[in-house]
Amino acid sequence: MTSTARDGELLARVSQRDAKALGDLYDRFAPRLFGVVVRILHERRRADDVLQELYLHLWKDARSLSETKGSVRAWLVVNARHLAAERLRAERRAQAGAGAHGRERVSPRKLPAGKSRPPEPLFASALPASWIPLPEEVSKLDERLGLLQKVINQLPGPQRKALELSVFGGYSEEEIARELDEPLGKIRTALRAAVTFLRHRRRAVVGTWAAII
């Protein structure tokens, strides 16, 4: 059985409330997902917390995800980044709010003790499910991941820096401009150029386009 077929089979079992299958999906992807989350949150305990939350969402949404025929691997990776980035944003907002009201500043890494955290929405439930890429496309991408990571390093330094702040810092365009002390127009242009470059190179590398890297 291929890796993609195995993912699909496990997802189908999770949608039938098979907890062992969820455990198997955990074993397959938890190290990779933990890597994404801890790079954003910089703290192992909170990364564990987000990872657990992600798998609880998967348990709840498995049936609808299975019906879309989308890639469970892509669902997990994209939502892991999204959940962790949303948590970071919420903490920054809390910190900014505390500062604005002259109260004790809140650590960007922690919420005030005893304060409950509202659940962050996942894209899977907030958007039409067709955002989830097909398993075959994700599998092709994974086969070329090493080469594609080199492509990211080809980005000009300022574009890479802005993209890094977005992907792993959870910053918006405006926040990146403030953080780097650059005009908003310049950051917008840099981010758009970066994602356009990556999209073109990705398509070329996975064979969607006939192009030479």
User: Which distant-in-sequence residues (6+ apart) come within 8 Å of 181 by Cβ?
Assistant: none
Distance set, CA 72 to CA 62, 136, 154 (Å) = 9, 11, 29
Q: What is the DSSP letter of 2?
A: -
Q: How far is the CB of 202 from another protein (least distance, A)?
A: 6
Q: Is 150 in the site for another protein (CB under 8 A)?
A: no
- Total binding residues toward another protein, as defined by CB under 8 A: 66
Q: Is-contact 76 22, C-beta < 8 A?
A: no
> Which of positions 170-209 make contact with another protein (CB under 8 A)?
170-174, 176, 191-192, 195-196, 198-199, 202
Neighbouring C-beta atoms of residue 154, cutoff 10 Å: 12
- Among 55, 36, 60, which residue's Cα sits nearest to residue 47? 36
Q: How far is the CB of 118 from another protein (least distance, A)?
A: 16
- Which one, 112 or 147, has the nearer CB to another protein? 147
Q: Is 116 in the site for another protein (CB under 8 A)?
A: no
Neighbouring C-beta atoms of residue 175, cutoff 10 Å: 16
- Among 152, 145, 160, which residue's Cα sits nearest to residue 191? 160
Q: Is 46 in the site for another protein (CB under 8 A)?
A: no
Residues forming the site for another protein (CB under 8 A):
17, 19, 22-23, 26-27, 30-32, 34-36, 38-39, 44-45, 47-48, 51-52, 55-56, 59, 74, 77-78, 80-82, 85-86, 89, 123, 126-128, 130-134, 137-138, 141-142, 145, 148-149, 152, 163, 166-168, 170-174, 176, 191-192, 195-196, 198-199, 202
